[in-house]
Protein backbone atom coordinates (compact mmCIF):
# COMPACT_ATOMS: atom_id res chain seq x y z
CA UNK A 1 0.00 0.00 0.00
CA UNK A 2 1.27 3.51 -0.80
CA UNK A 3 1.78 6.25 1.76
CA UNK A 4 -0.53 7.52 3.34
CA UNK A 5 -3.01 4.76 2.47
CA UNK A 6 -1.34 2.42 4.94
CA UNK A 7 -2.19 4.86 7.77
CA UNK A 8 -5.92 5.04 7.07
CA UNK A 9 -8.78 3.24 8.76
CA UNK A 10 -10.98 1.05 6.52
CA UNK A 11 -13.74 3.68 6.13
CA UNK A 12 -11.32 6.62 5.67
CA UNK A 13 -10.20 8.03 2.31
CA UNK A 14 -7.70 10.70 1.25
CA UNK A 15 -9.21 14.01 0.11
CA UNK A 16 -5.99 16.02 -0.29
CA UNK A 17 -2.35 14.95 -0.17
CA UNK A 18 0.24 17.71 -0.65
CA UNK A 19 3.92 18.37 -0.17
CA UNK A 20 5.08 21.91 0.69
CA UNK A 21 5.15 24.36 -2.20
CA UNK A 22 8.05 24.12 -4.66
CA UNK A 23 9.26 27.57 -3.57
CA UNK A 24 10.98 25.78 -0.68
CA UNK A 25 13.30 24.24 -3.27
CA UNK A 26 14.54 27.56 -4.70
CA UNK A 27 17.29 28.00 -2.10
CA UNK A 28 18.58 24.40 -2.35
CA UNK A 29 18.66 24.56 -6.16
CA UNK A 30 20.46 27.92 -6.02
CA UNK A 31 22.95 26.50 -3.52
CA UNK A 32 23.55 23.48 -5.77
CA UNK A 33 24.21 25.71 -8.78
CA UNK A 34 26.56 27.98 -6.78
CA UNK A 35 28.54 25.06 -5.33
CA UNK A 36 28.90 23.30 -8.68
CA UNK A 37 29.76 26.56 -10.47
CA UNK A 38 32.23 27.60 -7.77
CA UNK A 39 33.81 24.15 -7.74
CA UNK A 40 34.20 24.16 -11.52
CA UNK A 41 35.73 27.64 -11.40
CA UNK A 42 38.20 26.62 -8.68
CA UNK A 43 39.06 23.41 -10.54
CA UNK A 44 39.83 25.44 -13.66
CA UNK A 45 42.01 27.85 -11.65
CA UNK A 46 44.19 25.10 -10.19
CA UNK A 47 44.43 22.98 -13.35
CA UNK A 48 47.88 24.36 -14.30
CA UNK A 49 49.41 23.80 -10.86
CA UNK A 50 51.65 20.86 -10.04
CA UNK A 51 49.39 19.75 -7.19
CA UNK A 52 46.17 20.01 -9.25
CA UNK A 53 45.06 16.41 -8.56
CA UNK A 54 45.14 16.99 -4.78
CA UNK A 55 43.26 20.27 -5.21
CA UNK A 56 40.64 18.61 -7.41
CA UNK A 57 40.06 15.89 -4.84
CA UNK A 58 39.76 18.52 -2.10
CA UNK A 59 37.35 20.60 -4.19
CA UNK A 60 35.28 17.49 -4.96
CA UNK A 61 35.09 16.47 -1.28
CA UNK A 62 34.17 19.95 -0.05
CA UNK A 63 31.71 20.38 -2.93
CA UNK A 64 30.06 17.01 -2.22
CA UNK A 65 29.63 17.84 1.47
CA UNK A 66 28.16 21.26 0.62
CA UNK A 67 25.79 19.79 -1.98
CA UNK A 68 24.62 17.12 0.47
CA UNK A 69 24.10 19.65 3.27
CA UNK A 70 22.72 22.64 1.35
CA UNK A 71 20.82 20.95 -1.51
CA UNK A 72 20.17 17.25 -1.01
CA UNK A 73 19.02 17.38 2.64
CA UNK A 74 16.39 20.12 2.03
CA UNK A 75 15.06 18.28 -1.04
CA UNK A 76 14.69 15.06 0.95
CA UNK A 77 13.06 17.01 3.80
CA UNK A 78 10.61 18.55 1.29
CA UNK A 79 9.85 15.16 -0.24
CA UNK A 80 9.16 13.54 3.15
CA UNK A 81 6.86 16.31 4.40
CA UNK A 82 3.19 15.49 3.86
CA UNK A 83 0.02 17.50 4.49
CA UNK A 84 -2.98 15.19 4.20
CA UNK A 85 -6.70 15.78 4.62
CA UNK A 86 -8.79 12.64 4.88
CA UNK A 87 -12.49 12.10 5.42
CA UNK A 88 -11.82 11.83 9.19
CA UNK A 89 -8.75 13.90 10.06
CA UNK A 90 -5.93 16.24 9.09
CA UNK A 91 -2.51 14.60 9.11
CA UNK A 92 0.89 16.27 8.99
CA UNK A 93 4.08 14.22 8.76
CA UNK A 94 7.65 15.43 8.40
CA UNK A 95 11.19 14.22 8.83
CA UNK A 96 13.59 11.61 7.57
CA UNK A 97 15.61 10.24 10.48
CA UNK A 98 13.47 11.81 13.19
CA UNK A 99 9.87 11.45 12.01
CA UNK A 100 7.16 13.61 13.60
CA UNK A 101 3.46 13.50 13.00
CA UNK A 102 0.31 15.34 13.94
CA UNK A 103 -3.29 14.19 13.57
CA UNK A 104 -6.30 16.43 14.14
CA UNK A 105 -9.75 14.82 14.00
CA UNK A 106 -12.10 16.88 11.83
CA UNK A 107 -14.65 16.89 14.66
CA UNK A 108 -12.16 18.80 16.87
CA UNK A 109 -11.52 21.62 14.38
CA UNK A 110 -13.18 24.90 15.35
CA UNK A 111 -12.11 27.11 12.45
CA UNK A 112 -9.90 27.14 9.39
CA UNK A 113 -8.34 30.19 7.80
CA UNK A 114 -5.51 31.01 5.44
CA UNK A 115 -3.03 33.80 4.90
CA UNK A 116 -0.82 34.59 1.95
CA UNK A 117 1.39 37.49 1.03
CA UNK A 118 1.57 39.05 -2.41
CA UNK A 119 4.45 36.72 -3.35
CA UNK A 120 2.50 33.73 -2.03
CA UNK A 121 -0.49 34.78 -4.12
CA UNK A 122 1.67 34.99 -7.23
CA UNK A 123 3.18 31.56 -6.52
CA UNK A 124 -0.14 30.02 -5.48
CA UNK A 125 0.63 29.02 -1.90
CA UNK A 126 0.11 30.25 1.63
CA UNK A 127 -0.25 29.43 5.30
CA UNK A 128 -3.19 27.34 6.50
CA UNK A 129 -4.22 28.06 10.10
CA UNK A 130 -6.33 25.50 11.92
CA UNK A 131 -7.88 26.29 15.27
CA UNK A 132 -8.83 23.19 17.20
CA UNK A 133 -9.37 22.20 20.79
CA UNK A 134 -5.67 22.88 21.47
CA UNK A 135 -4.47 26.08 23.12
CA UNK A 136 -2.84 27.70 20.10
CA UNK A 137 -3.78 27.62 16.42
CA UNK A 138 -1.67 25.34 14.26
CA UNK A 139 0.02 26.94 11.25
CA UNK A 140 1.03 24.94 8.20
CA UNK A 141 3.34 27.02 5.99
CA UNK A 142 3.81 26.83 2.23
CA UNK A 143 0.70 24.83 1.41
CA UNK A 144 0.23 24.85 -2.38
CA UNK A 145 -3.24 25.99 -3.49
CA UNK A 146 -4.03 27.11 0.06
CA UNK A 147 -7.42 28.61 -0.87
CA UNK A 148 -8.53 25.35 -2.48
CA UNK A 149 -7.24 23.34 0.49
CA UNK A 150 -9.05 25.74 2.83
CA UNK A 151 -12.38 25.30 1.04
CA UNK A 152 -11.96 21.52 0.72
CA UNK A 153 -11.14 21.22 4.41
CA UNK A 154 -14.08 23.44 5.36
CA UNK A 155 -16.34 21.31 3.16
CA UNK A 156 -15.07 18.09 4.77
CA UNK A 157 -15.67 19.50 8.25
CA UNK A 158 -19.22 20.58 7.43
CA UNK A 159 -20.25 17.63 5.24
CA UNK A 160 -21.29 15.47 8.15
CA UNK A 161 -24.51 13.74 7.03
CA UNK A 162 -25.76 13.69 10.63
CA UNK A 163 -25.69 17.51 10.67
CA UNK A 164 -27.65 17.99 7.43
CA UNK A 165 -31.10 19.54 7.63
CA UNK A 166 -33.74 17.00 6.75
CA UNK A 167 -37.23 18.52 6.28
CA UNK A 168 -38.96 15.13 6.42
CA UNK A 169 -37.88 14.86 10.09
CA UNK A 170 -39.76 18.07 10.92
CA UNK A 171 -42.89 16.78 9.21
CA UNK A 172 -42.77 13.44 11.02
CA UNK A 173 -42.35 15.22 14.37
CA UNK A 174 -45.53 17.18 13.76
CA UNK A 175 -43.76 20.56 13.90
CA UNK A 176 -44.26 21.49 10.25
Residue 6, classified by CB atoms within 10 Å of its CB into exposed (0-12), middle (13-18) or buried (19+), is exposed
Residues 14 and 91 in one domain: yes
Residues 150 and 87 in one domain: yes
Q: Is residue 116 part of a domain?
A: yes
Residues 121 and 88 in one domain: yes
Q: Where are the alpha helices (DSSP H) in the chain?
A: 26-45, 52-67, 73-79, 118-123, 146-158, 167-173
Residue 101 has pLDDT above 50, yes or no: yes
Provide CB contacts within 8 A for 14, sequence distance 6+: 4, 5, 8, 84, 85, 86
Residues 88 and 155 in one domain: yes
Residues 154 and 118 in one domain: yes
Q: What is the pLDDT of residues 31-64, one digit of tens each?
A: 999 999 999 999 999 988 888 899 999 999 999 9
* pLDDT band per the 50, 70, 90 thresholds, residue 29: very high
Share above pLDDT 70 across residues of the chain, in percent, rounded to a whole number: 89
Provide CB contacts within 8 A for 4, sequence distance 6+: 14, 17, 82, 84, 86, 91, 93
Q: What is the pLDDT of residues 123-139, one digit of tens each?
A: 999 999 999 877 789 99
| Domain stop point among 32, 59, 77 | 77
- 153: CATH: 2.30.29.30
Domain region containing 35:
24-77
Contact between residue 22 and residue 142 where contact means Cβ atoms under 8 Å apart = no
Q: What is the pLDDT of residues 12-26, one digit of tens each?
A: 889 999 999 999 999
Residues 106 and 90 in one domain: yes
Domain total in the chain: 2
Q: Is residue 65 part of a domain?
A: yes
Give the C-alpha separation, 127 to 27, whole Å.
19
Residues 95 and 9 in one domain: yes
Contact between residue 132 and residue 110 where contact means Cβ atoms under 8 Å apart = yes
Give the C-alpha separation, 128 to 139, whole Å.
6
Residues 57 and 142 in one domain: no
Amino acid sequence: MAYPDDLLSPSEHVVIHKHPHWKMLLLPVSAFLLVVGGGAYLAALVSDLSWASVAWISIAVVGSVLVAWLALAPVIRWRTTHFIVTSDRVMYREGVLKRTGLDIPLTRINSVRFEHSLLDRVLGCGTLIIESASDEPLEFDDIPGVERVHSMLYREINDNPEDDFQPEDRVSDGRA
